[in-house]
Every structure is written in structure tokens, then in C-alpha cells.
Amino acid sequence: LAWQGRIVPAIRAGMTVIATIISAASGQAIQKMKFGRMPRVGANFNLESGELVTAQRITVGKPAPGKFISPVDIFVAPAPSRTED
């Protein structure tokens, strides 16, 4: 981030995204997860269980009154397996 031509590390350091991981198939929450930056649709990552998943849809809600943090939901599906022949 730049402000008047200077980097602002204090703002940049606090940009952690806390998201609820939700199964796209069942609609049930799986776990909460922290990301250093907002993940993109199609990004692969591992759950606590070790399962590799792909982000299918990301929704950002409105913060509750008086709050700053917006709720983030990431709908995931199992990642396609990569088999090499």
C-alpha cells in the first residue's frame, strides 16, 4: 500500500483474512482458517485434516454494526487428483 509515495507497513501487516471454510456440496461449515491475503477462486489449499481442496466461491458479508471485520465464507470442493502416468 502506498500513501503519498511511501509504503505503510502498519496497515499492510494487519491484512489477515479470517474465513469460514464451507463445503460446497453440503453447505456445512468445515473449519475456520487464516489467510495472509484474500484467496482467489480456484486456489488450492490443505485443510487441517490434510485434505486438498479448491475454492469454488468466495463471499464477503457486511460487518455487524459497530464492528470492522467482515465475515468471509469460502466454499470449497475436493481438488482434482493429479495422477502422473
Q: How confident is the prediction along the chain (85 residues), in pLDDT tens digits per residue?
A: 444 555 444 444 567 889 999 999 999 999 999 998 888 999 999 999 999 999 999 999 998 899 888 899 999 999 887 765 5
CA distance 19 to 75: 10
Task: Tell me the three cell numbers of residue 80.
Answer: 482434482
Position 45: which residue type? Answer: F
d(CA 62, CA 50) in angstroms, rounded, equals 31
83 three-class SS:
coil
Query: Which pLDDT score, from 0 to 100, does residue 37 have?
Result: 87
Cα–Cα dist 9/1, whole Å: 8
Predicted TM-score (pTM) of this structure? 0.75
pLDDT of residue 11: 45
